[in-house]
Amino acid sequence: MKATSEYLSAIGGAHYAWASMEWNIICILTKHDRVPVKDLAGLEFGKIIERFAATVATHPGRSDVATAAEALRLRRNDLAHARPAKIDGEEMLYRWDAKRGRIEPITHSWLKSFTSDVRETGHAANHLLHETT
């Protein structure tokens, strides 16, 4: 049995939510902190969020977004580096992270929870982006 179209759609939704959240954080850095886009282009999100977190001292309102985005980064890596597997007769992604000694099936409920958390953080970042400074 192949992965369901609903499951595959949920994976796409999770990736799209992530890209939107990441873009909001990049836009905060470029708009409010005047970081040139070329300085952020090609950076992995870990480096982008480090730059964003470094601004918390002068912009305390960013603390919650920085903390949430960093925690979500690890979950996003689970999704991005997962491989297909058949678990309990159902095909889904499966994350085996030998470095951290973790095994994580990427279930439909995992995707829903992750996407919800990413959207919540993305909305908070979007609010920060549109604040006047």
pLDDT category at 100 given cuts 50, 70, 90 is confident
43-72 confidence digits (pLDDT tens): 999 999 999 999 888 888 899 999 999 999
Quote the crossing angle between the two packed helices 63-80 and 45-54, to the nearest 10°.
170
pLDDT category at 132 given cuts 50, 70, 90 is low
pLDDT at residue 98, as a whole number = 78
Instruction: Compute the mean pLDDT over every residue in the chain, rounded to the nearest whole number.
Output: 93
pLDDT category at 1 given cuts 50, 70, 90 is low
pLDDT at residue 72, as a whole number = 97
Q: What percentage of the chain carries pLDDT values higher than 90?
A: 81
Residue 41: half-sphere exposure toward Cβ, Cα within 13 Å: 3
pLDDT category at 127 given cuts 50, 70, 90 is very high
